[in-house]
Chains A and B, each alone.
Chain A
Amino acid sequence: MSALLSVSELQKSFGAVVVADASSFDVAQGEAVGILGPNGAGKTSLFNLITGSLRPDGGAIRFEGRDITSASAAARCKMGVARSFQIPQPFVGMTVFENALVGATQGAGLPAAEAEAHALDVLHETGLFAKANMRAGSLSLLERKRLELARALAAKPKLLLLDEIAGGLTDAECGALIDTIKRIHAKGTTIIWIEHVVHALMAVVERLIVIDFGRKIAEGEPKAIMESAEVKEIYLGIAADG
């Protein structure tokens, strides 16, 4: 089976800080992959490299078999890669609905009426419909994170990259979020999810990749990975959550 996303020998450093050190992995069409790693391991940087907001120093990124290493962020979105930002980047002066509409008209390239209908759908899906007319600048942090998810979904991605969207939720909210992501996945969207809330991740993903100092240190079936000695060592403090 050919990979939807294929990352090979990716290299990136900021001065002495290495955020990607010869990372290679494939993600198959329809898969849900989790990414774990301590703070500063280079997880968000990996997303920046995949989406094109950061240029690698070396290595290659392929999407649907095409080399996209030098494609712009906008072009990658149009091909079907969308992400949520760990630090939310809402369009603060626009309403929640308009934020989603940007994804639907630009990323997904839908004509006006379809774009509006799709934007409404994702607001329902993410539980933001009641806030549709509010300015994004007046949302709380948790709502902003949900808006990140809504906006990315509005772009109709084939590959959805989620960066820590479950932090700070109550158990009930977290359960609802897990259901939402499972639904998105069940519709065929491929997902890569960075998350410190391990039990949420375990409920969704089929495979785990563990990163430390920009290097892939473990990869495989989630349960087996969580029980491996290396991961236990890194996650001594955090694993209690899982």
Chain B
Amino acid sequence: MSTRIARSTPGARAAMVIAALGLIVLAAAPWWAGRADMRLLGEIYLYLSLAVLWNLMAGYAGLVSVGQQAYVGFGGYMLFALTMFAGLHPILAILLGGVLAAAISVPIAALIFRLKGAYFAIGTWVMAEVFRLSFAQASSLGGGSGSSLPVDVVRSLADSRSGREALSYWLALGAAVTVMACVYLFLRSRRGLALTAIRDSEVAAAGLGINIWRTKLEVYVVTSAFTAIIGGLIFLQKLRISPDAAFSVNDWTAFVIFIVVIGGIGTLEGPIIGTILFFLLRETLADLGTIYLIVLGLVAIVIMLKAPKGVWGLIRSRFDLELFPLSYRVRTDAPDKGA
């Protein structure tokens, strides 16, 4: 009898094939989808990315931040500032915004990591408010009323409007795929195994040689950088920025937490399911006005009570399913019977 370790299941392989085919169809959207549908899809990709990132930080590293809008807004503002004042190409400006966000997230982490639990959450929110108030002071960026992306900057993306829309659609799709792939590959690595251990028990993880503080810092810096890049892409779609829109706790944190919690926190599949559910609800209830928010709240409460591990947790407890093959399966190949 021999034993081997397998890391993939037939279900996961089928999911990968379906995902690859789906991706080809989605990449071709500029040829088959209308303008409004493309905008909606682009928004879905960016929300999916924010949810995957927040889930990595809160669901795995235990850093329950309610202030990631700080980095969304920062990335958005860097797009505007670096294109307008440094003359950078928008894509370059967005990437550089991510690098700068990583740099400022280190001192912020040094400050807020001293806070535990609810105090940490409050600390992140205060930080985001500091960001919002600071950018509202920047008169060259329009102060409190914000500014629009100059026409020549917009033109530098593509000459035609449809060309620009296709490009910003592909950028959003590319960002979502990149974020998913990076998080998946990270969780599959040995450091991802360590992070998953932290998710389940910090005290046991520390006792087994895992440096908790360093791991959390790395996760915080990387998610903040990616969140800023997504923020840049969000405001590249909107072409207009203001402090209230850029640092909105509702848009960039509350909805994202809703997505992750109803989908299933601490799993890679959860944010995907959550994003689909969120947009289904939003698109069907959008006409109801404020009732839409009340319904969202009710859905969140019911799911938290009935399925604390989210919809994916519910599915997973019934069927031993895994769309992303992260698990190690021990297989024993028994020799021929009677041999």
Contact = CB atoms under 8 A, between A and B. Distances in A.
Given A120-B3, A155-B209, A106 B194 contact: yes
Contacts of B201: 89-92
Nearest to A89: B204
A44 interface: no
A175 interface: no
Interface in A115-141: 115-116, 120, 129, 132-133, 136
A63 interface: no
Interface string B182-217: 000000001001101101110111111111100000
Contacts of A116: 5, 328
Given A102-B193, A133-B330, A53 B208 contact: no
B76 interface: no
Contacts of A94: 196-197, 200
B266 interface: yes
B147 to A, nearest CB: 46
A115 B193 CA distance: 13
Contacts of A133: 329-330
Interface stretch (A11-19, A73-81, A205-213, A228-236): A73-81
Interface residues of B, number: 25
A105 B190 CA distance: 7
A172 B206 CA distance: 33
A83 B330 contact: no
A120 B328 CA distance: 12
Given A89-B201, A91-B196, A91-B197, A98 B208 contact: no
B205, B207, B330 pick with most chain A CB within 10 angstroms: B207
Given A92-B200, A97-B328, A101-B328, A53 B209 contact: no
Contacts, number: 99
A70 to B, nearest CB: 15
B207 A82 contact: yes
Contact of A102 (B5, B194, B211, B327): B194
Given A89-B201, A102-B193, A72 B211 contact: yes
B250 to A, nearest CB: 30
Given A74-B211, A77-B208, A132 B196 contact: no
Nearest to B213: A72
Given A51-B207, A85-B204, A93 B199 contact: yes
Interface string B238-266: 00000000000000000000000000001
Given A82-B207, A102-B205, A106-B209, A112 B190 contact: yes
Contacts of A90: 200-201, 204
Given A74-B209, A95-B327, A112-B190, A102 B197 contact: yes
A112 B193 CA distance: 12
A136 B194 CA distance: 16
B228 to A, nearest CB: 29
Contacts of B211: 72, 74
A167 interface: no
A97 B190 CA distance: 14
B210 A83 contact: no
A95 B200 contact: no
Contact of A53 (B203, B210, B266, B328): B203
Nearest to A83: B207
Contacts of A136: 200
Nearest to A116: B5
A107 B204 contact: no
Contacts of B207: 51, 53, 73-74, 77, 82-83, 85
B210 A74 contact: yes
A109 B190 CA distance: 10
B212 to A, nearest CB: 7
B293 to A, nearest CB: 32
A196 interface: no
Given A89-B201, A102-B193, A155 B208 contact: yes
Interface in A166-219: none
Contacts of B330: 97, 120, 129, 132-133
A43 interface: no
Given A72-B211, A74-B207, A102-B193, 20 more contacts: A74-B208, A83-B207, A91-B201, A91-B204, A92-B200, A93-B200, A95-B329, A98-B327, A102-B197, A102-B208, A103-B208, A103-B209, A105-B190, A105-B193, A106-B197, A106-B210, A136-B200, A151-B204, A155-B208, A155-B209
Interface of A: 51-53, 72-74, 77-78, 82-83, 85, 89-95, 97-98, 101-103, 105-109, 112, 115-116, 120, 129, 132-133, 136, 151, 155
Closest 8 CB pairs of A and B: A91-B200, A107-B209, A77-B209, A89-B204, A132-B330, A73-B206, A106-B209, A89-B201
11 contacts: A72-B206, A74-B208, A85-B207, A89-B203, A93-B200, A94-B196, A98-B327, A105-B190, A108-B209, A112-B190, A155-B208
